[in-house]
Amino acid sequence: MKDKKQQLDILNADMSQCSDCVLRMQCSRVVPGEGNAEAEIMFIGEAPGQKEDETGHPFVGAAGKFLNEMLASINLKREDVYIANVVKCRPPQNRDPLPEEVSACWPWLLEQIKIIQPKLIVTLGRHSMERFLEGQKISRIHGTLVIKTIAGIGRQNFYTLYHPAAALYNGSMREILIKDFNRIPKIIEKIKSEG
């Protein structure tokens, strides 16, 4: 039986060959995601931007630097968690991914989640949240633990945050994001204590 890292390595290598939507024709490379295959926490953003497209790593631009700082503030490193996106290829000019692009990429993300089996999925931004928690408003549910059964995954804990890129230059949103982020250790504790 292959361990989680081996399974993820195979999945992410397959993903790098994907051409199921038009995005792959316009981006430089697939950005599958990276981190600890045994992670308790999985962060899921929207889609790679320019820096991510250039390097093949998720969240390495300004938003990524901010994410790293927030992780450090709760004594976590990138290597402790898993970081991925709903869409694995950069949309041209960073436009919002189209519904058909999100749908084409969805099975890859589901497989990643099934392998990692995180205790908590932290969605970064509205688009990531909407994919799992359809019909919700980020302004209402940010910073709260939501438990939902998702087809293909099962019962899963979700925690919604504002996107670090959106909060970076918006003082009040930044404050809210940092406050919500700092609650992650307590949320994990609560999930563990409830078994």
Instruction: Return the number of the residue (83 or 120) whose C-beta is nearest ligand URA.
Output: 83
Q: Contact 30/109 with Cβ under 8 angstroms?
A: no
Closest alpha carbon to 49 in 94, 1, 104, 106 = 94
Q: What is the DSSP letter of 120?
A: E
Least Å distance, CB 61 to ligand URA, is: 6
Q: What is the DSSP letter of 143?
A: T
Least Å distance, CB 33 to ligand URA, is: 9
Provide the binding-site residues for ligand URA, judged by CB under 6 A.
45-49, 52, 58-59, 61, 63, 85, 165
- Cα dihedral across residues 116, 121, 122, 123: positive or negative: positive
Least Å distance, CB 161 to ligand URA, is: 11
Q: CB nearest ligand URA: which residue? A: 45
Instruction: Return the number of the residue (94 or 191) whose C-beta is nearest ligand URA.
Output: 94
Closest alpha carbon to 48 in 16, 79, 10, 6 = 16
Least Å distance, CB 160 to ligand URA, is: 14
Instruction: Return the number of the residue (166 or 191) whose C-beta is nearest ligand URA.
Output: 166
CA separation for the pair 19, 98 (Å, rounded): 15
Least Å distance, CB 87 to ligand URA, is: 9
Instruction: Return the number of the residue (61 or 118) whose C-beta is nearest ligand URA.
Output: 61
Structure token digits, residue 12: 């992410």
Instruction: Return the number of the residue (48 or 143) whose C-beta is nearest ligand URA.
Output: 48
CA separation for the pair 83, 80 (Å, rounded): 10
CA separation for the pair 83, 85 (Å, rounded): 7
